[in-house]
Amino acid sequence: MAQNSARTAGRHFLQIPGPSPLPDRILRAMDTPIIDHRGPEFSKLAKRCLDGIKTIFKTTNPVIIYTATGTGAWEGALVNTLNAGDRVLMVDTGQFATLWKKMAEKLGLKPEFIETDWRTGADPKLIEARLREDKNKEIKAVCVLHNETSTGALSPIAEIRKAIDAAGHPALFMVDTISSLASVDYRHDEWGVDVSIGGAQKGLMLPPGMAFNAVSDKALAANKNSKLPKSFFAWDEMLTMNKIGFFPYTPATQMLHGLIVGIEMLHEEGLDNVFSRHERFAEATRRAVRAWGLEIMCKDPKYYSPTITAVMLPEGQDADKFRGVALDTFNIAYGASFGRYTGKYFRIGHLGDINDGTLVGALAITEMALGLSGIPHKKGGVQAAMDYIVSAHSGGARAAAE
Ligand SMILES: *Cc1c(COP(=O)(O)O)cnc(C)c1O
């Protein structure tokens, strides 16, 4: 909010890595009378959603739609496939990986954490090495985040699949794709993922309140033998009811109206265009950060995230204070920092329904806020971002990135 004023003019810059800005078209689609969730009109709507969402996960298998946030779909993945005391292999890529691990502990699982310094992604080689040591096949699932939203690191899911296969290990493969789905290429079937976990409020451009489990045949088989307690999140009743276009309980009907339109919009733009748009935003942002003389949280370019860039501030600077100044003065929201890095970085989300102009506006605000906060930096970040965007549109994108 602008200082000393009851009104803030113009649009809020929502540059957090989800929820992402809600497109007017989705908002309008949700602004419609409530229908009977046991009636014929609803069944048509639900079937369109259940089919449509498969095209986003790139699967021909069922996708469960929960009335929950992403956290609920994490729980759904674990409780539907595993048993008390099962070992699960996870990678400590950041805050979200830590939260998923804590959930696994609360549910009676035995998570094992491959440590990182939070400035990289999940290394397939380390996963393979750990699985090779597990001679008795005690590890029942490998759980990784495709995109670690708290730090801005993207992990190579196809490579991790190959690593699991190379180790000859039968563990289930579960992937959190909440802040990458519909922004970054993702292939549930081709990459042999057993449970893919998605959320509505990031790449799918919906409000928070809907989440997904895409499931493989192997996950469905594991479901038959899984005895962890489950009720609301149980797959079996859901799948039975979904076949006829219904849910075991009242689903978020307005969210389903929005979901149809969100999927439509993604296909109208073309998924590959959506993915290259996000890559362009990310590269432009990184060039701005480097030109400012600041450090990108993710140290290894192999793991750079297309949807969020975390920016380290120089030693002694307070990133939370910086975010406060930027919000008060320029009406922009950035993502916060976590754990041992609390106060040391801020995150620029660049995902969902935004364009080059939105991004350049956000970067310009960032450069102004750095100046206003007295944070040592060089000028010219916005110029570097604009130069890159122009080169990307003139077909020089590949050459420039190399
Ligand atoms: C946002 C997010 C979550 C948590 O989802 P909620 O909708 O807040 O429950 C989990 N994992 C990742 C990678 C996320 O980005």
Rounded Cα distance, 158 and 5, in Å = 51
Contact yes or no for 278/350 (Cβ under 8 A)? yes
pLDDT of 203 > 80? The answer is yes
| Each residue's pLDDT tens digit, 247-298 | 999 999 999 999 999 999 999 999 999 999 999 999 999 999 999 999 999 9
pLDDT number for residue 396: 54
Q: What is the pLDDT of residues 152-173, one digit of tens each?
A: 999 999 999 999 999 999 999 9
Amino acid at 191: W
CA of 38 to the centre of ligand 1 (A): 30
Q: Which residues line ligand 1 (CB under 6 A)?
A: 18, 69-71, 96, 145, 147, 149, 176, 178-179, 199, 208
Give per-residue pLDDT as tens, 282-295: 999 999 999 999 99
- What pLDDT score does 5 carry? 80
CA–CA dist 204, 266 (Å, integer): 8
The pLDDT of residue 351 is above 90? yes
Element (H, E) at 153: strand 153-154
Domain ranges of the chain: 13-19+270-401, 24-267
pLDDT at 401: 57
| Integer Cα distance of 325 and 336 in angstroms | 14
φ/ψ of residue 140, rounded to 5: -100, -20
Assigned CATH for 24-267: 3.40.640.10
pTM value > 0.95: yes
Q: Find out if CATH 3.90.1150.10 is the number for domain 13-19+270-401.
A: yes
pLDDT average, residue stretch 101-118: 98
**Would you state the pLDDT for residue 402?**
56
Residue whose CA lies nearest to ligand 1 atom number 6:
70
pLDDT at 40 over 60: yes
Q: DSSP per residue over 78-142, as a string?
A: HHTT--TT-EEEEE--SHHHHHHHHHHHHTT-EEEEE---SSS---HHHHHHHHHH-TT--EEEE
Q: What pLDDT score does 395 carry?
A: 75
Ligand 1 atom closest to the Cα of residue 72 is 9
Query: How far is residue 271's CA from residue 277's CA, in Å, rounded to a whole number?
Result: 10
DSSP string, 220-280: HHHHHH--S--STT-HHHHHHHHTTT--SS---HHHHHHHHHHHHHHHHH-HHHHHHHHHH
Q: What is the pLDDT of residue 67?
A: 98
Residue from 16, 66, 71, 155 whose mutation best tests the ligand 1 pocket (most atoms within 8 A of CB): 71
Tens of pLDDT, residue by residue over 324-347, are 999 999 999 999 999 999 999 999
Q: Which residues contact 302 (CB under 8 A, 6 or more apart)?
A: 121, 156
What mean pLDDT do residues 109-126 have? 98
The pLDDT value recorded for residue 3 is: 58
- The pLDDT of 229-239, averaged and rounded, is 98
* C-alpha closest to that of 258 among 43, 28, 42: 28
Q: Percent of the chain beyond pLDDT 90? A: 96
In DSSP terms, 154 is beta-bridged to 147
- Kindly list the distances between the CA atom of residue 61 and the CA atoms of 190, 193, 326, in Å, as whole numbers in the listed order: 12, 11, 45
**Token pair of 249, please?**
């309980």
